[in-house]
A and B are shown apart, each in its own frame.
Chain A
């Protein structure tokens, strides 16, 4: 399978600041990466599909100006939460699609806490 890393694993920030989360595919060149948000004891909510060299595709209800995604290389996608507020506190997970059957490999997630 593929190995996906995320950095940082957890971050605490003040309300109004911006936070950048990195997602790296360590052994696979991923033209597409996915960003999810996971609420406590709830499912994964797909936020956006990150496309290398082009604009991300956002799911309905996700503010693209709030959650900026950049996929500048085949191994790195970043999610920037701009002007973070306490309601943005959550667990953010990235994944890549790998293999012929369409399965996904996930990063370990980033816990964001906005004070």
Chain B
């Protein structure tokens, strides 16, 4: 079965410091990977998807198939980045779409 691991429950940094939120997955095929973010009192929303290879709000994430990782990075954290971040994997099996989420990492950026 597929699995997503976010080893850090909490990550605390100061404004301007680099940030890396770790995500490892287990799946033998080629998964679709995403990062979702949930700001305080807001709904979950998509931040990044690996297939787009995009940078959103200064965040990037590279899929490393060898290490089965999809870490989220930002070179200079901002206070407004404080939120809960979820790494997610989705795959299609037998015509069914199966989403799996990591437990989430709470990012706190101090002024």
Contacts and interface: CB of A to CB of B under 8 A. Distances in A.
Interface of A: 1, 32, 34, 41-44, 46, 49, 57, 93, 95, 97, 101-109
Secondary structure of the A contact surface, majority rule: strand
A96 B16 CA distance: 35
Nearest to A6: B43
A8 B9 CA distance: 30
B46 to A, nearest CB: 5
B97 A43 contact: no
A102 B44 contact: no
A97 B92 CA distance: 12
Contacts of B36: 104
B56 interface: no
Interface stretch (B17-25, B59-67, B71-79, B101-109): B101-109
B44 A93 contact: yes
11 contacts: A32-B97, A42-B104, A43-B86, A44-B44, A46-B101, A101-B32, A102-B90, A103-B46, A104-B90, A106-B44, A107-B43
Given A32-B97, A102-B92, A102-B97, 19 more contacts: A42-B103, A42-B104, A43-B101, A43-B103, A43-B104, A46-B99, A49-B96, A49-B97, A57-B96, A93-B44, A97-B97, A101-B32, A102-B90, A103-B49, A104-B90, A104-B99, A106-B44, A107-B43, A108-B43
